[in-house]
Amino acid sequence: MSHDTEAAYASSEIAEIIMNKSSSFFGRIGVGGTWSVSAGREGSREWPLADGVIEAENTKGNDIKIAFEYKRPNEGLHGVLTAIGQSLAYLEKGYDAAVMAFPERYSSYTAPGNHVKRIIDSTAPKMPVSVYTYSEPDLSATKPFAGHLKCVRDIDLSSCDKVNRTGKKTLTSGSVSTLWAHMREGMSHPDAFYRYCQAIKIVSSKDNNVKYPDLPSELDSAVQRIAPGKDPYFYLSSTPGNSIADQAWRYVWFTRYFWEGLMPIYSTRKPYTVNNSSTKIIIDKSGNYQKLFSGRSDSIKEKLVKKLNASTLSEDDAWEMYAKKVRKDAHSYREVIDSGLFHIGFLSSDGTLTDLGYKFVDACEKIGTANYGIPFEILRAALLSKGQYGVMLHYIYKLSQEKFDTNFYAFTKVVEKGNRKFDNNSYLMWLNDEFTNVLHLSKKSSLRNGGTRKPFQAELAVLKKMGFVRENNNRIQYRIGSGLEIVWPQVESSMIYFENLK
């Protein structure tokens, strides 16, 4: 089991511990309100990066973020010293508190947790740093660290010193991501990952001489009216500067997404007809290309052309509305693809490719695709191990096993002629509730009751695309008495493949 996976299991358990003793841990903070505590990961890339983030929200409006640092036995006593330094750096970064977790003993030292406690108590007794030790987790259990964690230094956060930071607080309210890598169906395609990684490789080269296609004159003029003096390529790609990441996104946006043939709103005038060109991003193994800005009745091109033909909108206004939509979608697509690649270990904190990222893009370039072969194996192995989808599958399987052991026909309806049908919507709602209230891996505010998006909608789409869950006629399969059908041979094969990538 990897360091990241162990840290994920441990942070979930500590989130529950803090939740159960919230009145003593938070002290006077949020008195009269109710605390909700969940575990996740950093959404930003500002150094130093914590192994996890425990976020606590109070109904009185308090929002507390706690950095988590996890050390394994093989890191030895050196890891004890680095953990202390890292935890203090997290406080300076902007975290309200820090939690460290160490093995209960090392071969060369029997009580590392108490040693750390003595160091903090004697040098910085009011620092908001809590210390835990753990015994070997039980990987066969739903919650591997349940009963295996001991708090050796507890805190009352309201009585702790506040850290005086030398610069601007880098943490933001939106800086905590889900434990597993951020993905979105309709955006997180293997080819999209390939092309962005390839763009980073291109713009990072010494002979980089990237050129962008010409813009339609109407679009160029629209940008100048909206943002006078702004470079239209910067505006339409929503890239503020010339960092490697900005250059790479501009390149992939104008060569693969918003390319020359797709740019125009319409193909003809009088009557206006929609320019229905696709992007150059392949979305499946059949070679189909992603649609963008057209192809649906609510697409921006469809709506603008309808108004132009009805003479209820001028061409200038149409191009301005279009330019704003292009910029907005460029930002959304970049945020999903860039953060997803970072969370699965393909990008470093400065936006350049990691060794794993280079392995992926080099493998893609050898065969020209990311949709099968070695590139696809690298991608799904990284999703499981670095992206923590393996942790998610573990929890889904264990929770389901416990549920159906006590009630085989849970979430099952009797339909006509006495036949039974599994209600996957109720099952997913139940899982979402368990992830929130039992595992503390989702915020209560993120529940989607009454919303248009279903629980785990994006995650399940990714798992299906990667072949980790069984499907039939392009529909994810659920089974009476077991729930989501996980393809364990593929999961285990990909886990082993990841270990061999190192």
**Would you say 59 and 21 are in contact if contact means Cβ atoms under 8 Å apart?**
no
β-strand partners of 42: 176
Domain range list for the chain: 3-177, 190-353, 388-501
Query: Does an H or E element contain 41, and which?
Result: strand 35-42
Supply the pTM of this predicted model: 0.89
Q: What are phi and psi of 492, to 5 degrees?
A: -65, -40
Helix (H, G, I), strand (E, B) or coil at 484: strand
Distance CA 463, CA 478 (A): 14
For residue 368, give the DSSP letter.
T
Closest CA to 412 of 486, 481, 485: 481
pLDDT value for 169: 52
Distances (CA, A) of 346 to 41, 117, 340: 16, 36, 9
Q: Name the helix (H) or strand (E) containing 247.
A: helix 244-252
d(CA 78, CA 131): 16
One-letter identity of residue 140: S
| Cβ neighbour number for residue 360 with a 10 Å cutoff | 30
What pLDDT does 383 receive?
96
* Phi/psi of residue 319, nearest 5 degrees: -65, -35
pLDDT of residue 451: 52
Amino acid at 340: G
What's the Rg (C-alpha) of the chain?
Answer: 25
Q: What are phi and psi of 403, to 5 degrees?
A: -65, -50
- Contact between 71 and 102 under an 8 Å Cβ cutoff? The reply is yes
Query: CB within 8 A of 452, min separation 6: which ones?
Result: none
Calculate ∠ Cα 440-441-446, nearest 5°: 100
Q: What is the mean pLDDT of each run of 10 residues along the chain (502 residues)?
A: 88 95 94 92 82 93 93 86 92 94 90 94 95 94 95 96 68 63 92 97 84 95 97 97 94 97 96 97 94 95 97 97 98 95 93 96 97 96 94 96 96 90 95 92 54 82 95 94 96 93 78
Give the residue carrying structure tokens 């739903």.
142
Q: Phi first, then psi: what are they for 118, rounded to 5°? A: -65, -40
